[in-house]
Structure 1
Amino acid sequence: MKAIGFKTSLPITEKESFIEFETPKPIPGARDLLVKISAVSVNPVDFKIRQNSAKDTVLETPKIIGWDAVGIVEAIGEKVSLFNIGDEVFYAGDITRQGSNAEYQIIDERIVGRKPKSLSIEEAVVMPLTGVTAWEILFDRIRINPEKDKGKSILIIGGAGGVGSIAIQLAKKIAGLTVIATASRPETIAWCKEQGADFVVNHKDLIASVHEAGFQYVDFILDFVDTNSYWDIMVELIKPQGHIASITGSNDPVALNKLKNKSVSFSWELMYTRSMFETEDMQEQHNILNKIADLLDNGTIKSTLNETLTGLTADNFKKAHKLLESGKTIGKIAIKY
């Protein structure tokens, strides 16, 4: 099968930052699906792994990355019970296994959902990773209860990005929260409002901007940009007994003691945790993806697709990664095979 990968971590402008190559079609294990891929999407995790996983080394076999895919089930393992051959599926992948930037991929059925019927493959493929991440951070990490928490305020730092775009929609449409999103350019401000944000504030002077919007404190904060850079700002803006959650990780220690006087909770979210550790509730990602598919099909939420490239080529992945690395992308980019 054809695949796109890399043997060493190079700047995206280098010719061999991505290469096209042939590799055997994978064979599904007991709970695996073999999926013939129709489209993929790119996420910041893609370029971060490309930049860091093969530094100062040359891999013997090219590494295939990619963690969003739509495709058709071509074969199933002996213990598969959730899907049949011919089913159209979408999923966000497993960081410990071969990625989706190829013609075929094997994937554990417990982290796969049915593709939304009403969406094109490119509209659907941009939703799994960001959708699962946003769902988990809101409802599994912060444990927002739509009945109890309806009307409370949430600040989403990085509102126009992939995760921010769907988090705005879920926070507004499912949780019933008052949504404050950060953006600074006219096009990103418009995008956040289009997703359903009640207020759009400027991240360049965030505390003053939130206060000007009429909030001294907010009940919840989601960080989709940089935990360390925004830490003191989040500490200032979070309501006593509130909850902060982040997906960005931290190169430096996080000063959790600054949350003590307000009795504030803090959570990390990593979408890969369930598959990485094969947790007891690993199949919950299958359930989340099906919920997201239902919400897309009934029009409660909408796809965050903003750009589509066509063709399984190294050039298309270079182009997509270059756009992501600029930090100025709005919504999501799909690559349709």
Structure 2
Amino acid sequence: MKAIGFKTSLPISSQESFIEFETPTPNLSGRDLLVKIQAVSVNPVDTKIRQNTAKDTVLENPKIIGWDAVGIVEAVGEEVSLFKVGDEVFYAGDITRAGSNAEYQLVDERIVGKKPTSLSIEASAAMPLTALTAWETLFDRMRLSSEKDKGKTLLIIGGAGGVGSIAIQLAKKLLGLTVIATASRPETIAWCKKMGADVVVNHKDLVNEVRQAGFHFVDFIYDAVDVNGYWDAVVELIKPQGHINSITGSGTPILINKLKTKSVTFSWEFMYTRSSFQTEDMIEQYHILNRVSALLEEGTLISTHQNTLTGLSAETFKKAHAQLESGTTIGKLVVKY
């Protein structure tokens, strides 16, 4: 099968930053599905792994990345019970296995959902990773519910990004929260409002912007940009006994002690925890994706797909990663095969 990968970490402008190659179609077993890929979307995790996996080394075999996909089930393992050959599916994959930038991919059925039938391939491909990340943050990590949290305030740092765009929708439509999102350009401000944000503030002067908007403290803060870069601001803005969650990671220690006097909860969200560690509740991602699919079908959620590139080629993925690395992407960029 044809695949796109890399053997060393290079700037996206380099000729060898992505290469095309042939590799055997993988053999499946157990609860694996063999999926023929129709479209994928690109995410920040793709660029980070490409930039950092093979620094100062050359891999013997090219690494295939890509962690969003829509496709058709071509074959099923002997233990599969949730899907059958011919099913249209969407998923975010497993970071410990080969990715979706290829003709075919193996994926465990427990982290796969049924593609929304009324949505296009492109609109569906934009959703799995960001929807899973936003859902797990709000419902699994922060444990929010409409019964106890309706009307409370949520600040989303990075409202126009892929995850922020879904988090705004879930927070408004399912939880009834008052959503404050950050954005600084006219087009990103408009996008956040389209997603449902009640208030949009500029992240460049976060504390003053939030307070000028009428909020001295906020109940919950969701960092989707840079946890250390905004740490002092979120420590100042979080309400006593509130909850902060980050998906961004940090190269340096976070000063958690600053939260002590407010008795604030801090949590991480990493969407690949369940698949990486084969947790006993791994099948929750199957249920989440099917719930998201239903919400997309009924129009409660809207896809964040914005732009499409075409073709399973090194050049296409170079263009996609260059666009993502520019830092100006709104919503999601999809590559259709």
TM-score, normalising length: structure 1? 1.00
Structure 1 stretches (4+) deviating beyond 4 angstroms? Answer: none
Q: Which residue is 1:324 aligned to?
A: 324
CA distance in 2, matches of 1:301, 1:213: 26
Q: Which residue is 1:117 aligned to?
A: 117
CA distance in 1, matches of 2:284, 2:28: 21
What is the Cα deviation at residue 326 of structure 1? 1.1
Q: Which residue is 2:43 aligned to?
A: 43
Segments of structure 1 that go 5 or more residues without pairing to the other structure are none
Q: Which residue is 1:195 aligned to?
A: 195
C-alpha distance after superposition, 1:244-279 (max 9, x if no partner):
000000111111111011100000000000000000
CA distance in 2, matches of 1:267, 1:208: 25
Give runs of aligned pairs for residues 1-337 of structure 1, distance below 5 A: 1-337=1-337
Q: What is the one-letter code of the residue matched to 1:187?
A: E
SS class of match (1:110): helix
Q: What is the one-letter code of the residue matched to 1:54?
A: A
What is the Cα deviation at residue 328 of structure 1? 1.2
What is the Cα deviation at residue 145 of structure 1? 1.1
SS class of match (1:17): coil
C-alpha distance after superposition, 1:97-117 (max 9, x if no partner):
000000000000000000011
Q: What is the one-letter code of the residue matched to 2:310?
A: T
The number of equivalent residue pairs is 337
CA distance in 2, matches of 1:279, 1:63: 25
CA distance in 1, matches of 2:180, 2:322: 29
CA distance in 2, matches of 1:64, 1:323: 19
CA distance in 1, matches of 2:81, 2:63: 30
CA distance in 1, matches of 2:29, 2:183: 44
Q: What is the one-letter code of the residue matched to 1:155?
A: L
**What is the Cα-based RMSD across aligned positions, in Å?**
0.5
C-alpha distance after superposition, 1:23-73 (max 9, x if no partner):
000111210000000000000000000000011111111100000000000
SS class of match (1:227): coil
Q: What is the one-letter code of the residue matched to 2:202?
A: N
SS class of match (2:267): strand
Identity between Structure 1 and Structure 2 (%): 74
